[in-house]
Structures are given as C-alpha cells and as structure tokens.
C-alpha cells in the first residue's frame, strides 16, 4: 500500500547547518499489514512518517501510495502523534468528530459511529467529558479513535504509548491489536521498545542512527491473536536478539 524507495531528507538548522535526517531509506507496507519501525532517537523515524503522510517531500527518492508515486498523500493518511493533542475546549465526542467535520462528512452518521465505538475504546459514558478529566490512557484511546474515525485505510502511529507507564503501555498494546483485528487497517507504528515492536508486528524494520536508513527487516512468524504469554516463548527471544544485534545494542 505504501512504498518508500531510497528516500533522503535533510534540514537546515539556524539557516546554515545542514542535518541529514534520512539517507537512502526504503521500506514497504502491504495492505492490511501491521508493520513496526524501530531505531535510536533522532534516526529519522518521525521524519519518515511526515514524508509518508505528505507533510514533507523527500529531497530524493520516491514514495508511492497504492503503487502511484505521483499520488497526492496529504489528507489520505491517518496520523497519530505521541501526544494526544485533544482540544481542551471540546468535549470528548466533539474531539472525536473533528476529522469528519474537517473532511465534510455526514456528521449525523459520524456521531452515531463514534458513540457506537465508545465501549470498544473503554470510553463509554465519557462522551460529554472534557480532556482534562480523562486519564492519560483514556486520552490516548480517544486520540486513536479520532484517527480511526477519519476513515483512512493507512494509519501512521508515532509512539502513541511513549508517555505511558509500563503497566498501562502493556495493556494498551494488547488492546490496540484487538482494535486492529476489528478494523484491519494498514498500520505503520513507530516505537523505541524492541518487545513492543515484535509483539505488535507482522514485520519489523530497524533503522540506523542518523542519517537514518533501514539496516534490517524482520518477519514475525507468531500466531494471532496474541497475548502476553508470547513474550516468554523461545522464538520471541530469538527475534529480540536478532533485532538488538541489528540495532547494535
């Protein structure tokens, strides 16, 4: 569904210093796949997502959407950042409806869909509550639901659980797979956590330090649906060792 081929991207800092964020990076995500992207801080993972969604254009290389390198990407991708970015002056439900509102969709239908999904996202009874009254985990679930309600087939998730404590994060990743198995959208998920990358994915890409490029691709042959018990299996430990070696850890 998305193909990134030999992409490079640099930025000027303070008007003079040239920083090379990506250098010849390539990856692909097939329709319906859950792919994770892992690498050290500053290696260009977020830059990669910004390029894929069309917020930036590469200096060189190509990015194809559904096989078309000339396709308009901006507005065709669901993108969730690490921060939930819920608007504090809007209720939970009004935050969820922001995407359909901006896209000019049928708001009656969008409202009914949002309300019907609140139980699945653990948000039932909170439609009229404002973000300040929600827990961090609830805010992240709301942000993901808002992204899903944009009804884009490709979802880019940039460390959505990075600000959560370890216990909440563990619960959230299992919950995320439940949601993904329901909607079957194509997902590219950025993380710093090796276990999380393996647990969630059909395939994992490992990136080098800046300037970032893909140094390893790993296919995860674990059954779905998954539970936390998979983490103690020998094959999981083998995947972990292979990724850590690729990352130079």
The DSSP line for the chain is: -EEEEEEEEEEEETTTEEEEEEEEEEEEE-TT-EEEEE--TTSSHHHHHHHHTTSS--SEEEEEETTBTTS--TTSSEEE-SS----TTS-HHHHHTHHHHHTT--HHHHHHHHHHHTTTTT-TT-TT--GGGS-HHHHHHHHHHHHHTT--SEEEEESTTTTS-HHHHHHHHHHHHHHHHHH--EEEEEES-HHHHHHH-SEEEEEPSSSB-EEEEEE----SS--GGGGGSHHHHHHHHHHHHHHT-
Question: 10-residue block means of pLDDT along the chain (249 residues)?
Answer: 94 82 95 95 92 93 89 86 90 93 87 91 93 90 88 90 80 87 91 93 95 95 87 90 91
Is there a contact between 211 and 3 (Cβ–Cβ < 8 Å)?
Answer: no
Residue 133 has a pLDDT of: 95
Residue 36's pLDDT is what? 97
First to last CA, the chain: 31
Map out the domains of the chain with their CATH numbers: 2-77+154-247 (3.40.50.300), 87-151 (no CATH)
Predicted confidence at residue 106, as pLDDT, reads 86
Q: What is the pLDDT of residue 29?
A: 96
Rounded distance between C-alpha atoms, residue 57 and residue 11, angstroms: 12
């Amino acid at each position: 569904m998305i193909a990134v081929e030999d992409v490079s991207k640099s930025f000027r800092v303070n008007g003079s210093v040239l920083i090379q964020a990506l250098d010849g990076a390539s990856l692909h995500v097939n329709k319906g796949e859950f792919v994770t992207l892992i690498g050290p801080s500053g290696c260009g993972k977020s830059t990669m997502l910004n390029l894929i969604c069309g917020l930036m254009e590469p200096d060189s290389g190509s990015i194809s959407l559904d096989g078309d390198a000339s396709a308009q990407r901006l507005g065709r991708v669901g993108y969730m950042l690490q921060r939930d970015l819920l608007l504090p002056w809007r209720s939970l439900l009004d935050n969820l409806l922001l995407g359909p509102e901006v896209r000019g969709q049928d708001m009656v239908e969008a409202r009914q869909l949002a309300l019907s999904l609140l139980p699945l996202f653990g948000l039932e009874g909170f439609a009229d509550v404002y973000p300040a009254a929600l827990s961090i985990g609830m805010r992240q679930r709301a942000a993901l639901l808002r992204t899903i309600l944009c009804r884009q087939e490709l979802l880019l998730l940039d460390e959505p659980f990075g600000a959560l404590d370890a216990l909440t994060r563990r619960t959230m990743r299992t919950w995320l797979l439940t949601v993904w198995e329901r909607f079957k959208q194509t997902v590219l998920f950025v993380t710093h956590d090796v276990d999380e990358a393996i647990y969630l994915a059909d395939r994992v890409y490992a990136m080098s330090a800046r300037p970032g490029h893909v140094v390893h691709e790993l296919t995860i042959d674990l059954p779905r649906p998954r539970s936390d018990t998979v983490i103690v299996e020998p094959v999981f430990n083998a995947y972990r060792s292979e990724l850590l070696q690729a990352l130079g850890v």
